[in-house]
Structures are given as C-alpha cells and as structure tokens.
A and B are shown apart, each in its own frame.
Chain A
C-alpha cells in the first residue's frame, strides 16, 4: 500500500492523472480506478486477450502491463470505438456476422482487430492472415467464424475505399 506512484495517461482522448500502486495492472487502473469497464479480464496471465487495449496504437494485454508503465501513454479502449451513437464499421460488422454471443471477449477482439486493420492500411483482405491474427485471443462462444468474417469484411471494405 505504500508504493504509490502518480501517473498521467490519456484514455480515448481524455486525460487522467491519478496515484496507483506500482503493482497495479493497467486493466485494473482502467476498469476500477477510471471506470472504463468495457475492457474485460479473462485470465490475468496474458493468454485469452479479453483485456486487449491499444497503448500508443499497439495492442497490448492490459493484464500484463502495470499502470505505471502506461504513464504518459495514450490508451484506446472499446468505449472509444463508436462515434457517438454510430458504431464503427468494425463494430457493425461484428453484429452483422454474429461475431459475438456472450460479449465478454468482444472488446478484446475489437481492439485487436482495430490495430490489425490500422496496420494493414487498406491492403486487401486475406482470410488466412486474419485467422492467424485473431488467434491471439480466445472466444468460447462463436467458434470464431463470425469474428474472422467480420474482420475480413471490414478489411475488404477499407481496401475498396482506399482504392
């Protein structure tokens, strides 16, 4: 309880400054200190990926990062994906393709896919590659097919849009 550190981080564009224990994980900071409960905890040992957020644009397991390591960083969570009431193309594709059932792993998959699509930068969709990427996270409900289809469909749409 004694080892407190003052950190500042930006979450979905909003700045936060708070004191956290050094051992406190980023996901606990986000969920319980800052109230971004959209990010979920599935295993706390970096396998399931339910806690995936973007840290300075890169997908990370927020259960394997300490809050203090995010000091000065920009964090994106699932709450930051929609534009007001308008779901992002990826969120819409997840619903259309039935890429979620219980919804618990969904925020992690969305953030993972968001990072992949950003990195892909409009290159055409490649199902094998998408499968390999989303294999980073675990889903217990869907059998993954909807998730793969959703990501592929957004990749294809974005590739088309970028000409």
Chain B
C-alpha cells in the first residue's frame, strides 16, 4: 500500500514557478489600474503642521490625507490591564512616530507618475525629540501621549517567591545581559496589494501578498467600518513572508479604501527601500538574566528581565506583546527549570513597529539559555554538553514551570546524535588553525512550541485569538479532490504536502488532489500561515475531513461489493476488500455514481463525498540540536561558518524535501542574524540601512552546506503525528554560531550580530 506521507514527492508548485508563470500581485494589471505612492515622513518624531496636496493633485488622479479618508486606523488589543492599546493611523494625521510613516497617498495612471506626484506634496513638519534606544526609552518623551515610561505592555510572569532565596544561596549564580539586533524579514517579494471593486458581487476584491487573508479582511472591515462580506481578500502566489506578512499593513487598507472610493483598481507594490524602512521589523531585544546552578551543573532557578523594542505601534491583529509574551513564557525552553520569574516589557520607540518575524523571540531565548549553559560550564569547569544533558527535559509529558505541558520529544537524543555527527570537528578546527585561522565549535539545543491552537493562544488574551483552522475536502465526479484550507502558504509547498496527507486518507495519488488557499470567499475563516501551524492545524483539518470522505467511500464500496465496511480499504485509486484479490471498485466509479446516478445508491450513500472539519490542537513541540563550526580570519575579523549540522525532530515528516528546505532556509536566516543583518538607526531615528547595499542579506558565498538528520517522535496532538517546523532553523542558528565564535576567540559575546570590528577587538589577545 503506497504511503505518500514521508515520500519525497516533487512539488506541484514548481512547474509554474520555473516557467515564470507564478502569479504574484504585481503580475496582475487590470485595465484602468491606478498606482498608489505614499508620501512618507523624513522625521522619526514630528508634529504635522500642514499638508498641501494642491500641486500633486494637478498631475495625479487623486491625492489624499488621513482626514480625506476619515482618519481611519487599525487597533490591536490585548485584553490585559498591563497593556496599553495604541491606534495605528493608516495615514498619520497630526504627528508621525517613525521615519517613513505614511502621511499622504497619491494615485496616478502609472507608478512613475505616482512617484512624481508624491514628490509634489508639501508637508510642514515640526520635528520633536525622538526615542530610539530601548534602554533609555523610559526617560524619553512619550511616543504616544499619556504613555508613561513608553512601556506599552509590562508583564510579570511565573513569579516564584522562592527564587530570591535560591539566587542568594546557590553555589553558582550566572548574571548576564544579552542583546539582539533589529532585523528585517526581507522576503524577496515585498508587500504588495491590488484592490478593485466588483459590481457583480458588490465587493472590493483585494489581492494581497499576505500570510493571513482573513485577518486582512477583518482589518480592512474594522478600519473602514464595513461588513466583512463586502471585502474579499485573495493571496495569490506570495514571494515569502517570514512573519512580515502575518500582520495587516496600513498601506493594504489604504489601497482598499481608495478602490472603494474611486471605483477603479488601485495597486501598491512596496519597493525595497520601503520594505527596509517602513515595513514591520523584529527581534530587537534586551535581556538581563540571573540563573542559579547547583555544583553538579543543574539549573536551580532563573530570573529574567526582558525588554523588547516594539517600535511605534502595535501590529494588527496580534499586538506588540507577541515578542515579550513569547520570551517571558518560553525562556526555559528545552531545560528543566524548577523556579522561574520573568518580566517581559514591550517598549515603544520612534522606529517602525515589529511583527512576529520567523521564530518570534525564540532565537533570542535560545541564545540566552545556551549562553547560560556555557557560562555555568565555564564556572564549574564542566563540559558544556554535559551541563546541557543534566538539564534537558527527559521525561514526557513534562509539566514546565512556565505552565506548559511538553509533549514527547527527543531532547537528549538529538544532542547525543549531534555530538556524534560532529566528532571529527575538533580535527577540522586544528586544520583551520594550522592555516592561521581561529576556529571554534558551538551547539544549541531547543524545544519549540509550534502549532498553537486556541486553547494555548487564549492565554495571551488577544481580542482576536487565533488557533483553529478548517478544511473542506470535496470529490468531483471524476474522483479528483479539491481541498480548501484557511492556512495560506507562501513558499512552503502546501499544495504538495496537503495533497500527500489527503491522498493517504483516500487511497489516491497526490496528483489528483488540488489545494485552494488564500481566498476569503473560498475558504472558511482561518488564521493563515505563521507560527509553524499550517501542516499541523491546516493539514490536520484536511486529514480529518479526508478521513470523513474516506469513510463515505468505504460505505459506498461496502454496498457495491456486498461486504462489511470494516473489510474495505482504500488504496491506489480503488476500494478493495481485504484478503479478496480482485474484489474492488474504483474511486472514480464511486465518484461517478454518487454524482450522476445517486438513485442507484442507498439513502445513506447519496449526496456525500465531501466534508468540512476543523482542528485546534493545544500545540506541538518540535526540538532540535544545532551545531556550527566557524573559522575566523584574525586579520579581518570575518567569521565564516564552515560546517553546520542540524539534528531535528518535527515528528512525522510529511515530505523530506520540504522539511529539509525549510530547515536550511531557516538556518540561513539565523546565521544572517548572528553575523550580518542589523537595521541600524541613529540617535535621531534615521535609518542607516535603507538599501541592500547596507543591510547585508547573506548570499550563497556565506551560507555553508547544512547537514540534516531527522529523529521522528510523533505528536499525540496532531492528526498526522507531524509537528510544526517552519521556524526551527532560524531559532537554533544564532546561539550555535555565537557559541562557536566564543569558542574560537575565548570571548564572551552575548549579543547578535557579532560584527568583524568586534571580533577584531576581541581577538587581539588571542592570536
């Protein structure tokens, strides 16, 4: 019996992409399309005294300020006393809060003409002092009036009263501060949208490069005061998202508003400068941590004060609490921490708002825990891997001090295997050293809660709580299947992996299954694709729905073959009677009968062959160990990742090609965060990284081959046993690379990125 789950099925998506026949937003150009260009602030903080559109209006088809649109805004709310909601205006009206904040929009027949017209808009600014530094933000002017300390969310979590005593009496207390730089998700396709009014359906149809079409619809509806049915959001092919596109951009709502008002198609395609300066960022965080260890290396207690620079606004719909909440809740990660306290703050600054960029705080918390293990090992003169082994969770389910129940994983096993697979690395380091280079090895271990369902998400108390997703599976008269899902892939190969799951249930070929996604009119309300949720929740729902259709087919086959349903199995396109060769009826024949000759079937076999099912798991737990070997040129301070190993466990692997690709891409982003990428702002809030000349995304020359080994511990909480794995690569890599650098230099860097001049300063004494 063919089993498609686990097979290296080539991707259905590839054919059109390789021919240049993908359909991205900018590939669509309905007749009469207007092009929008935004007028953006040159100041990080300023009052707007006037906006003069007169000259612009002479050359443009239209020019609009916030007031012209009725001062619409997006509002993301966390229903907690410790959270202060802040409105994000679609266009700033009276003041701006970061460079590149939009204050006006013009539309013209051609994008060149729109940019020309935007330059004719005259804005009078009254600049104010900007808040740009996370650490001193509390003492600066208020980013939002009435906001004291510029703290938008302040959460004290798991406040164990024994902790102070533990920290006072422990044999070893490690105290350290950790920082991670502000980074951009940088999908190769920036944000993009095209909205047009459809008279027939009385809807504005908005094509958006998004991971969350339903939330874009809700955002537009709420901001513009419209019923949701009047908006249809379609995500066509999406050129990468990485979390940037799991929130709603103000530009997307403006474009919808303009199409409604002008009754003409309106398009906006973000350029790379806008993407770097005006889109959502991520991961700018500071940690002050104290950890108590026993003499044998066991961690006894952990206290953390976490501050996240969330920029000027809360992103809709998840709010700016995503990073501080994730960090404060999940810092203990893969380790048994008996006593814990964390304070997580979201601090407003005059920089662009943050979105849940790939990994959401977990690259940072893993970095913190992995550095703590190294530091404790150094103090105790123990092997750092042994310290990890003493602390890794090893019995399941494990009830964490952070109120998380961890399901089955392979934490120790992944570390053991990673150590084995890197056993020749010390010799490799010696070879590198003999060539005059510095060399070092670093490890990181992590557990990653993925596929958060509503039960878990509700603990965050978002006004809009994600988690569930719904799939619809229906078979047509030829026996082929269309699946719709509320998840919304943007490069992960869902068209292929969902088909594998459904094909296994129905005993058909994945080629006979089509996935439709990313269309709010076509799919049930769903939460899209983020947080490594799609294959577990969306794929789980699809598997369940296909299971219902499979039972419908078995019932029909039982009638036709005059056997019991329990004797029927579906495989290779037919229903077969177990143990009776030749007793079979094809799926296509049953599909034909149900649709065209239902009268030949008993009542309970008619009108069937479709089902809608939802999935809403509490969450699954993937885990991995990463190992990096770096070389460092003592002359330039350049760090090079020479070797990289990932031992990962995402439960049942649906498609190894896809999983390996996700891991490798994730590791590349993690290496980038460790060594290259950082959005730099000066003290006035001016970005110094507004192009790819300055913001250094790594190329093939910087990213080494990445060896991947799989362990498979199926999850009890998912339909297929699969666990989410879209983010793990990004989560594990920064800590592994940082530990390798410190190993090579004998240094104690606790921040990312580590830049060549810092390496040079540190390596002076180590040559």
Contacts and interface: CB of A to CB of B under 8 A. Distances in A.
B426 interface: no
Contact of A103 (B237, B242, B669): B237
Contacts of B511: none
A38 B187 CA distance: 17
A150 B638 CA distance: 28
Interface in B64-93: none
B240 A37 contact: no
Contacts of B27: 31, 37
Interface stretch (A116-124, A128-136, A154-162): A128-136
Contacts of B691: 43, 45, 47
A143 interface: yes
Interface in B158-191: 186-190
B22 A47 contact: no
B692 A43 contact: yes
B669 A138 contact: no
A99 B491 CA distance: 12
Contacts of B366: none
A42 B491 CA distance: 16
> Chain B's interface: helix, strand, loop or mixed, by majority?
loop
A141 interface: yes
A79 B27 CA distance: 14
Contacts of A41: 26, 269
A36 to B, nearest CB: 7
Contact of A138 (B22, B188, B729): B188
A142 B665 contact: yes
Interface string B690-707: 011100010111110110
B127 interface: no
Contact of A78 (B13, B20, B189, B660): B20
B238 interface: yes
Given A45-B693, A100-B18, A103-B491, A144 B699 contact: yes
A141 B240 contact: yes
Contact of B665 (A45, A95, A141): A141
A90 to B, nearest CB: 9
Contacts of B661: 98, 101, 141-143, 146
A161 B491 CA distance: 33
Interface in A20-62: 21, 23-24, 31-32, 36-45, 47-48, 50
Place the interface of chain A in its size category.
35 or more
A147 interface: yes
Nearest to A39: B20
Interface residues of B, number: 58
Contacts of A95: 10-11, 14-15, 18
A77 B18 CA distance: 11
A106 B272 contact: no
Contacts of B272: 42-45, 48
A37 B190 CA distance: 16
Contact of A145 (B10, B237, B705): B705
A102 B10 contact: no
B357 to A, nearest CB: 12
A121 B272 CA distance: 36
Given A95-B10, A102-B240, A102-B490, A87 B665 contact: no
Nearest to B10: A95
A127 B26 CA distance: 35
B607 interface: no
A104 B134 CA distance: 35
Interface string B17-34: 111111010110100000
Nearest to A95: B14
Contacts of B16: 103
Contact of B19 (A91, A102, A132, A135): A91
Contacts of B18: 78, 81-82, 87, 91, 94-95, 100, 103, 106, 110
Contacts of A143: 661, 664-668, 703, 706, 729
A104 B24 contact: yes
B112 interface: yes
B311 interface: no
B271 interface: yes
A138 B665 contact: no
A141 B190 CA distance: 14
A107 B20 contact: yes
B221 interface: no
B658 A98 contact: yes
A153 to B, nearest CB: 14
Contact of A23 (B24, B112, B668): B112
A50 to B, nearest CB: 6
Nearest to A94: B18
Interface in B1-50: 10-11, 13-22, 24, 26-27, 29
Contacts of A94: 14, 18
Contacts of A142: 661, 664-665, 668
Given A95-B14, A98-B661, A103 B22 contact: yes
A40 B662 CA distance: 22
B17 A103 contact: yes
A65 B169 CA distance: 68
Contacts of B350: none
B665 A140 contact: yes
Contact of B29 (A32, A144, A147): A32
Contact of A102 (B189, B692, B703): B189
Contact of B15 (A23, A78, A79, A87): A87
B492 interface: yes
A42 B240 CA distance: 11
A48 B189 contact: no
A105 interface: yes
B353 interface: no
A148 interface: yes
A79 B19 CA distance: 5
A82 B693 CA distance: 33
A10 to B, nearest CB: 17
Contact of B112 (A24, A37, A131): A24
Contacts of A37: 20, 24, 26-27
B7 to A, nearest CB: 14
Contacts of B703: 143-145
Residue from the set A23, A36, A140 with the largest chain B CB neighbour count within 10 Å: A140
Listed residue (A1, A81, A142) with the most chain B CB atoms within 10 angstroms of its CB: A142
Contacts of B17: 100, 103, 106
A98 B18 CA distance: 11
A104 B240 contact: yes
A98 B269 CA distance: 28
Nearest to B59: A1
A16 interface: no
Given A47-B691, A144-B700, A145-B664, A102 B238 contact: yes
Nearest to A138: B697
Interface centre among B13, B19, B700 (most CB of A within 10 A): B700
A39 B706 CA distance: 29
A104 B20 contact: no
Contacts of B26: 31, 37, 41
A139 interface: yes
A14 B201 CA distance: 39
> Which 6 pairs, one residue from A and one from B, show the smallest C-beta to C-beta distance?
A38-B20, A102-B491, A104-B239, A103-B17, A143-B664, A78-B20
13 contacts: A37-B20, A40-B189, A45-B272, A82-B18, A94-B14, A98-B660, A100-B14, A103-B17, A104-B240, A132-B701, A141-B491, A141-B661, A145-B664
Given A42-B188, A135-B700, A139-B700, 6 more contacts: A82-B18, A98-B660, A107-B20, A132-B700, A140-B187, A140-B188
Interface of A: 1, 21, 23-24, 31-32, 36-45, 47-48, 50, 77-79, 81-82, 87, 91, 94-96, 98, 100-107, 110, 131-132, 134-148
